[in-house]
A = this chain, B = another copy of it.
Amino acid sequence: MTRTAHPLTSPGKQMLSEQVYAHLRDAIMRGDHAPGDALKPQDIAKEQGVSLAVVREALVRLVGEGLADRLPNRGFAVPAFSDRRWQEIAEARRTIEPVVLRMSIERGDVDWEARVRAAHHRLARTPAFVPEDGEYYSSAWSEAHRVFHRTLLEGCGNPVLLETFDRMWTASELARRWAAQRDPDRDAVGEHRRLEEAALARDADTAAEVLARHLTLTAAALTGSSRQAKEVL
């Protein structure tokens, strides 16, 4: 039955593939599936109540962002990160983010300063762990963490560099889900505080150094032993 023309653009409606994409992305990032698990279009289509075409589109997008693997004629799967891959991602972040942070600190305006303050404040008062979630970071903390690191860089004013950050962050978080158990000795809170202080003081040298160290320590904590951290430092 065709209903009469909409008086105004129907508000809540968006593409099904978009919804399925977001759902799968969140599920994968949340770690709902084990690495290597098959993502079967038919099963997903049935449980989401949509056709294969929309699931397929969502999966293809996921592959493009590194959130799914594809083997031709073999289907899609949750990506499995090797330790080597994880280290490469961490190194890439160490290489690029301090440079962008410098640019950000040199260029950021007062609005950026305010956003940095707000992001750090939010991060500092969000608990990283909630008892019932076991060893995993709470999703609220993960999001606050991402926003803080991104905000630090946003002063650079270059969307292309921020896109690069987004891609690496996604890969980094995905790998962290599975490479990881937390290192209780880490003082990430203090590192974040020092980052904020250096950024707001416009001390690019210190900020870049602290960020590089922060990323190194994080990477070392996630590869199990803290031996590597001491070596690098």
Residues of A within 8 A of B (CB): 14-15, 18, 53, 56-57, 60-61, 64-65, 72-73, 88-89, 91-92, 95-96, 99-100, 103, 158-161, 164, 167-168, 171
**Pair B64/A96 contact, Cβ less than 8 Å:** no
Contact A161 to B57, CB < 8 A, known contacts A64-B64, A64-B65: no
**Pair A88/B57 contact, Cβ less than 8 Å:** no
Contact A161 to B72, CB < 8 A, known contacts A60-B60, A64-B65: no
Bound CA span A56–B57, Å? 8
Set of chain B residues within 8 Å of A158, measured between Cβ atoms: 88, 91-92, 95
The 8 A-B pairs with the shortest beta carbon distances in the complex, nearest first, are A64-B64, A92-B160, A88-B160, A92-B161, A60-B60, A88-B158, A89-B160, A57-B60
Set of chain B residues within 8 Å of A92, measured between Cβ atoms: 158, 160-161, 164
Chain A interface SS verdict (over half): helix
Bound CA span A91–B103, Å? 11
**Pair B72/A164 contact, Cβ less than 8 Å:** no
Report the minimum CB–CB distance from A167 to chain B (whole Å). Answer: 8
Report the minimum CB–CB distance from A77 to chain B (whole Å). Answer: 17
Set of chain B residues within 8 Å of A89, measured between Cβ atoms: 160
A-B contact pairs, 27 of them (CB 8 A): A14-B72, A15-B72, A15-B73, A18-B72, A53-B53, A56-B57, A57-B60, A60-B60, A60-B61, A64-B64, A64-B65, A88-B158, A88-B159, A91-B160, A92-B158, A92-B160, A92-B161, A92-B164, A95-B100, A95-B103, A95-B158, A95-B161, A96-B99, A99-B99, A160-B168, A164-B164, A164-B168
Bound CA span A61–B171, Å? 18
User: Across the two chains, which residue of chain B brings its CB closest to A171?
Assistant: B160
Report the minimum CB–CB distance from A202 to chain B (whole Å). Answer: 19
Bound CA span A164–B14, Å? 31
Bound CA span A168–B158, Å? 13
